[in-house]
Structure formats: C-alpha cells, structure tokens
Chain A
C-alpha cells in the first residue's frame, strides 16, 4: 500500500512563524529516535533535499524547504533521563521547551536559556543556537548542551559533545538543521527555588537611558531586556520600557498561588487596512505610557519570559501577507552605536513595528561555528510585509549593520542577500565541511 505522493504532488504547505514566504513541500516524519532517515523518506522522494522541521517558530525560511522534503520531529517527544542530583536532563529533540519546563520546574530546575516563546523544540533551539534575556551572563542554549546525537542521511549516528566528535558538535550547534537530524540532547539545567521572578520595570525616555540602565543592570540582574517605541523621534528617540529580573530565591514562594492562565486565540488573519502607521503609533505610545515609570513585583516565569504565548496564533495580527522580523547585532559602542541611526532611519521610513526589542549580548562565546550572537547590542523589529517598500528599508538597515561589522539572525530572516550572508558569516566556509550533502533549506539556497 503505497500512499507516497509523487514529487509533483506536494502534500503540505508548512509555514514559518512570519507566514512569509509561502512554500510547498513533501512532509514526512521520523517515527522514533532509532529510525534511519532513509526509512522515513516516502518511496520515490529520495532525490529531494531534506530538512528537519520542529515547531516552525522560526520567522523566515530557515525551517522551510520549498519543493523539497521536510522531516517532522514531533514524534521524538520522549524524556530519557533526569538526574535529580546534577540537573542534567536527557530528552528527545522534538520535545518543546514548554513540555520540559512543565516537568522540571516543579522539581526545582529551569532551562539554562529560554527564548521569547516556549513553543520551540529542543532540536530547533540547538539548530538556531537560541539566546534569551540572560545572554549577558549565560551565553546561548548551545553553551549548556553536554552532548547530542546527530544522525545523517548516510545512516551514520554520532554522539557529539565538547569532548567527542567536537567538530561535529560545533557545526551542529547553530547549524541551521543542515548537518543532519538531532535525535536527543543532554542539557545542564539550572537550579531554582520556585517558579517566580522578581521583576523591575523601568521606563526610559531616550535610548541613552537604555544604555545606562543596561550597563548598570547587567551585573546585578540575570535577565534584562528593553522594549522600544520605534516610532518616536527627536528628544524621545528610542524611548521604551526596560525589564530586569532574577529568579526568586525563596523556597516558600512556591506556595504563592498563580492565576489560572487564560490562553486566547487570534481568530483569523487581520485585514491589512488595520495595520497602518497610525495604529502602530497609537499602540507604541499606549504601550509606553501604560507602563509605570518604575515598579517592582513578583511575576510567574511564564508571563515574564513568554508574554506572547498567552495568545495563540498572534502572528495572524499581521494579515495573510505575513511579516518580517529583523534582528541584528552590532558591536557595543555606547552612544556611538549604529543603533541610534538605525532607529532613526526606521522611524522616518514610514514603516512601523509593534514589537521592537533591544538587549545587550555578553562575552560568553558559543561552541557553535555559525552561532549568531556576538558581544554587542541586538535590535529586533517586527515589520508587516508591505512588499518592496519594506524590503528597501530593511536593506538600508543591512548596510548599517555591515558597516558596523555586525550580522543578521538567520532564524528570523527571509530576505538577506547572498552578499550580506557572506559578509555576516565568514565562518560559512568552515561550516560547509559538515553540512549533510542531502540536506538543504529555502534559506540556504537563497544565501549561498
């Protein structure tokens, strides 16, 4: 009984979180961590290129493989071992961070690094070597991986760690899924006393003040991040809200009752006319003004780390044309930072963004060859897709990033050019030796 589609018969149009670009692919799935890749591929599809697909929480096309094959990892969702003494957890790569956190938090452990959503898989977190609000002290997710298993299209399996198959380890962390499939990983968790975070919220009226806050806070707070009103200019250029926090150390605090979370769902793709400069300006201004100039409180880790997870499908807000996320890092140069010019350019461009995030990256370096973070300042913009106009503005930002010796995050990218990628990631040459010849992605074909 052969139900495999023909190569001309794409059975799925998986999306990334940005809903752009639209692609078609043959989709299959790895049934267990011991299944060979070749046994998962539907008959007659062997000639296509392969790519693992986690939860599609990347924004652009790094998790897509247009007119080729995607291998879902959702069935690799088993826990393997948790050592309650050392906090080392071994899990299959298709488990989401949410499933891991739900399990380990009540046992007094936390993931060493978490992104802005808990709906990403362990495999995706490794392949993009994700960073969180604690990059300035903890580095990336990959810094906390004790070992992982990599399976390749030629049927080989390798256990990789900083001490074993080290070069494969370095290539796979931040390797954009191109070195093969990660089936499981061992992660060093971090000890916590309770699920609560003590958070301080501080409003800053100008980007200068953000830099003051972050310089002052990065040594005292494990988690720091700023939200920017990207549309205010002049004396209020780069005003925003600064959040900083630490895990609460009190054990008794686990008794605090948290409100039952209500998850809402964004019901449909928003019509495009709702997304205009006025609505964005109003939103940005409102967000700024509704935050108190200073406040300290206890919050549960979920709203602290994953505020957007409270609304399912919030990406529909940007309509069916989808949106771009632009994340760059530039070297830290204080008030000389190119970030000033970038925000100014963006504010004047006529585009808007609901969610502009700024954070300093620290010096902890990742083992990953292609890993994105570098010491400096990282800026992230959500930009609705308005076609050519949007692309032009983002290209002008690219030029500033390039001049400053910075780089753009592939996990969020759907548009950088070959030339930019080459400049941003000279490590590509070293990386390519480890790429699985059978693996590719829409992103990879675009930038190489």
Chain B
C-alpha cells in the first residue's frame, strides 16, 4: 500500500503508519513538527516500511496542498490511500470568548481538512482509483455545550465528505469518513480515562479494515454507532436541557 498521511504525527495516524510499515507499505508523512517526523520516519523504516518520505508544514497553509500531494505521488510512484488525520480539540470555554481562537479551530478541523480532501480528489480522480480516508469524530453527530466548536467543524466536514463521496463515486475514487469515539491520545490526555477510551492501535486496525472493506462511514470502536444513535434520537426539546 502507498499511503500519504496529513497530520502524520497524530497518535492515531502514527498507529496506522506502523501497521502499514509492518506490511512493507510505502509512506509519505506530512506534519508540522519536523523533529517528530524525522524520528517517525526512522522508526517506520526499521519496522519494515518500503520508502518513507516526509514534508513539513502547517496544514492550514492552503498554497502548499497541491505540492504535497504531487511530491508524495512522485516519491512513492503513485498513491493508494490519502489519510487526513490532523485535528485540534480547543478549549470550549476559551473559544466562546475568543473569536480568533474559534476561527483557528474551524480552520484546522474543517477548512483545512475539507480542502485537503478536495486537493486529494483532484489528484486521485485522474487515475480513477484510490481512497480518501478522513478522521471526523462522533462529536460531529450532535452539538453539545461542552464542545460545539470542534463538534460543528467535524459535522461540517462530514457533510462535505458526503458530497465529495457522491461526486467521486462514478469516478472510481472512494471516500471514507472515520468517526472515532474517545481515543487515548495527546488530544484527550487531560481527560480522566475510563472504559470508553480505546487505544490508538485498536482504532488504527479499524481504519485499515474499513479501507480494505470499501466502507463509506465507520464508527470506531463499533459500539459508538449505537451510543450516537441513542444520543441523536433524543428530541431537541429534551436535549437542550441536558448537561452534556
């Protein structure tokens, strides 16, 4: 497998990359922390990866998107899967007070991810194959007072991906929306861990399986589908009174 990863230093993305390396796949890593990218690239090579390339930059820099996809395609001699993994949770209370911060959260979680998916589509549709896999979140399934900035960005992203999937279907390119529940990663390190938290490795296995099985949308771990089904079914008239 030849995989290009945006936000490669994310814990979930790293777990995916390790599995691809184990199967001797090729990887191209894009992220903003060059030191971490270097040690990841070394690690993935030792773990068995074929070629491992990398590019460094902030993923809100739209002007670089095409260049990254093209360098990856050139480096790996093609691309099978493009994984878009970066994201940022933000601090809800601060976001309510500070529109600049709120703008950044929308930018990272929605604008950057959506436009990277579109840039990826422009490349893959030429070959008429490939998968664009994007990490959304169960938080996008319903707006809640505790994280509606992050949640609404992920919800917008999901809607965008539905449209993109619809557009790309006849062209042979698939779009996978990944919706993890709680995962033990740096993003959630400040939260008290409980039995609902999954390990990044478990989520990574689920992502690769969903890619192989041509899924459109996947909840990870699977039980989140049912949890969110219940949460979505609560009438708004009641929901607005809940402390969630």
Q: Which residue of A lies closest to B40 (CB)?
A: A78
Distance of B122 from chain A, by nearest CB (Å): 34
Apart from A81-B46, A103-B46, list 8 A-B contacts with CB within 8 A: A78-B40, A78-B43, A79-B43, A79-B47, A80-B39, A80-B43, A103-B47, A103-B48
Task: List residues of chain A with CB within 8 A of the CB of B94.
Answer: 1
User: Top 8 nearest A-B pairs by Cβ distance?
Assistant: A79-B46, A78-B43, A79-B43, A3-B190, A78-B39, A82-B46, A1-B91, A80-B42
Distance of A107 from chain B, by nearest CB (Å): 9
Q: Is the Cβ of B42 less than 8 Å from the Cβ of A81? A: yes
What separation, in Å, do the CA atoms of A103 and B18 have in the docked complex?
12
Task: List residues of chain B with CB within 8 A of the CB of A32.
Answer: 35-36, 39
What separation, in Å, do the CA atoms of A80 and B94 have in the docked complex?
40
Does any Cβ of B come within 8 Å of A247's Cβ?
no
- Tier of interface size on chain A: 10 to 19
Task: List residues of chain A with CB within 8 A of the CB of B36.
Answer: 32
- Near B by CB (< 8 A), chain A positions 1-43 give 1, 3, 32-34
What separation, in Å, do the CA atoms of A395 and B8 have in the docked complex?
54
**Of B35, B42, B91, the contact of A79 (CB 8 Å cutoff):** B42
Task: List residues of chain A with CB within 8 A of the CB of B35.
Answer: 32, 34
What separation, in Å, do the CA atoms of A270 and B98 have in the docked complex?
52
- Near A by CB (< 8 A), chain B positions 40-71 give 40, 42-43, 46-48
SS class, residues of chain A in contact with chain B: loop
Task: List residues of chain B with CB within 8 A of the CB of A79.
Answer: 42-43, 46-47
- Near A by CB (< 8 A), chain B positions 9-40 give 35-36, 39-40
Chain B residues close to A by CB (< 8 Å): 35-36, 39-40, 42-43, 46-48, 91, 94, 190
Q: List 21 A-B contacts (CB under 8 A).
A: A1-B91, A3-B190, A32-B35, A32-B36, A32-B39, A33-B39, A78-B39, A78-B42, A79-B42, A79-B43, A79-B46, A79-B47, A80-B39, A80-B42, A80-B43, A80-B46, A81-B42, A82-B46, A103-B46, A103-B47, A103-B48
Task: List residues of chain B with CB within 8 A of the CB of A81.
Answer: 42, 46
What separation, in Å, do the CA atoms of A434 and B36 have in the docked complex?
31
Distance of B84 from chain A, by nearest CB (Å): 23
User: How would residues 63 to 87 of chain A score, 1 for a CB under 8 Å from any chain B CB and 0 otherwise?
Assistant: 0000000000000001111100000
Q: Which residue of A lies closest to B90 (CB)?
A: A1
Q: Which residue of B lies closest to A79 (CB)?
A: B46
Q: Which residue of A lies closest to B189 (CB)?
A: A29
What separation, in Å, do the CA atoms of A33 and B38 have in the docked complex?
12
Q: Which residue of A lies closest to B33 (CB)?
A: A32
Task: List residues of chain A with CB within 8 A of the CB of B190.
Answer: 3
Q: Which residue of B lies closest to A11 (CB)?
A: B192
What separation, in Å, do the CA atoms of A81 and B41 have in the docked complex?
11
What separation, in Å, do the CA atoms of A81 and B40 have in the docked complex?
12
Task: List residues of chain A with CB within 8 A of the CB of B91.
Answer: 1
Distance of B79 from chain A, by nearest CB (Å): 25
What separation, in Å, do the CA atoms of A350 and B105 have in the docked complex?
64
Task: List residues of chain A with CB within 8 A of the CB of B46.
Answer: 79-82, 103
Task: List residues of chain A with CB within 8 A of the CB of B48.
Answer: 103
What separation, in Å, do the CA atoms of A131 and B17 have in the docked complex?
34
Distance of A97 from chain B, by nearest CB (Å): 16
Task: List residues of chain B with CB within 8 A of the CB of A1.
Answer: 91, 94
Q: Which residue of A lies closest to B48 (CB)?
A: A103
Task: List residues of chain B with CB within 8 A of the CB of A80.
Answer: 39, 42-43, 46
Task: List residues of chain B with CB within 8 A of the CB of A3.
Answer: 190
Q: Which residue of B lies closest to A95 (CB)?
A: B43
Q: Which residue of B lies closest to A80 (CB)?
A: B42
Distance of A426 from chain B, by nearest CB (Å): 41
Task: List residues of chain A with CB within 8 A of the CB of B40.
Answer: 78
